Amino acid sequence: LAKTTQPISMDSYEGQEVNITCSHNNIATNDYITWYQQFPSQGPRFIIQGYKTKVTNEVASLFIPADRKSSTLSLPRVSLSDTAVYYCLVVGEYGNKLVFGAGTILRVKS
């Protein structure tokens, strides 16, 4: 599974749009990009997953360029409750093993 690199931390203010970029240079053809959110002392929670171009759900958008070597998670109008660690993962076609990196600590301020 491809290794991912993302910023260690980011700060934002309530109401702003937050974009977290992740690089995954060695992504394989059949790999998907998945993002999870984790609050302290809780299990990670699935946010969004995509293969290419753009995916949007009620929580976030995921932008994946044509070469798929990076992806950007976009959180519209963040609130204090979005303060969490965000993990970018590359998941393979087979198996449920998730390989987590260090994640990005997002701090939203008022």
Instruction: Give me the residues that bind another protein (CB under 8 A), please.
Output: 30-32, 34, 41-46, 49, 87, 91-103
The token pair at 58 is 């009620």
Whole-number minimum distance, CB 28 to another protein, in Å? Answer: 11
Rounded least distance, CB 97 to another protein, Å: 5
Encoding tokens for residue 96? 């449920």
Q: Would you say 83 or 101 has its CB closer to another protein? A: 101
Minimum Å gap between C-beta 85 and another protein is 10
Task: Spell out a b/e string for 50-83, using b for 16 or more CB atoms within 10 Å of the CB, else e.
Answer: beeeebeeeebbbbbeeebebbbbbbeebeeebb
Return the number of the residue (7 or 92) whose C-beta is nearest another protein. Answer: 92
CA 3 to chain centre: 13
Amino acid at residue number 58: E
Residue among 16 and 30 whose Cβ is closer to another protein: 30
